Chains A and B, each alone.
Chain A
């Protein structure tokens, strides 16, 4: 099978206001590549939520997007605090976002559920004190 197209982004963990840049770039790329609005929407939502989580919970990280003819894979890796209880974190409404982040509109505890809902498969590898890597696949 042909090698996938790969897009790599460093996600800056120090700027809460301009967060989301990598996701906006990926949306642009997928549009140029001619993917359907529905696929673009799923990737946009799933990646944005993961990107924002790396910024607000993990001091930034690395985002990779692999584009295959039949699927898009998103890998978000950070070396932040990790998630102690993934099942709890996945629940709608659960959030540890601090107040200064909440005033910007984050912290509803809906990000991980949005990622789950918009991807066809999602895996979270997380170790407390080491970091978190999230793999999402969206079928085309």
Chain B
């Protein structure tokens, strides 16, 4: 499953579409940035409700496939543009993190 396919299947809101062909290997859920840095793996979907600019640097350095904002959270002002300029996929969904995780788990 790729980022683009996941977006279509789960009807995600695209905030920054940088690389739709990036494959997804799994996921990590968390809002505390050091936990995400230490535990999220390359090519995973990172599900979070954190919406400030720091998520872009964390996603870049942890090399996740995409950031997925749960619970209808929108990125803070300017964050979508920064994500786009850094080549980071940033999407959103109205669904809670648990719901997103179970659906993604059954898709990949």
Interface of B is mostly: helix
Q: Which of A16, A23, A37, A110 contacts B42 (CB 8 A)?
A: A37
Chain A interface helix/strand/loop/mixed: helix
Give bound CA distance, A106 to B50, whole Å: 11
Tally of A-B residue pairs with Cβ under 8 A? 72
- Whether B53 and A45, one on each chain, are in contact in the complex, defined by CB atoms closer than 8 angstroms, is no
Whether a CB of chain A sits under 8 angstroms from the CB of B63 is: yes
Docked-complex contact B31 and A24, CB < 8 angstroms: no
Asked whether A104 and B54 contact (CB < 8 A) given A37-B42, A114-B34, the answer is yes
Tell whether A126 is near chain B: CB-to-CB under 8 Å.
no
How many residues of A are in contact with the other chain, CB < 8 A? Answer: 27
Enumerate chain B residues within 8 angstroms of A17, measured Cβ to Cβ: 52-54
We find that the number of chain B residues with CB closer than 8 angstroms to chain A is 20
Chain B nearest CB: distance from A8 CB in Å? Answer: 19
Cα distance A48–B55 in the bound complex, in angstroms: 12
Task: Decide yes or no whether B57 CB sits under 8 A from chain A.
Answer: yes
Contact of B35 among A41, A52, A108 (CB under 8 A): A108
Determine if A27 and B42 form an interchain contact, defined as CB atoms under 8 angstroms apart: no
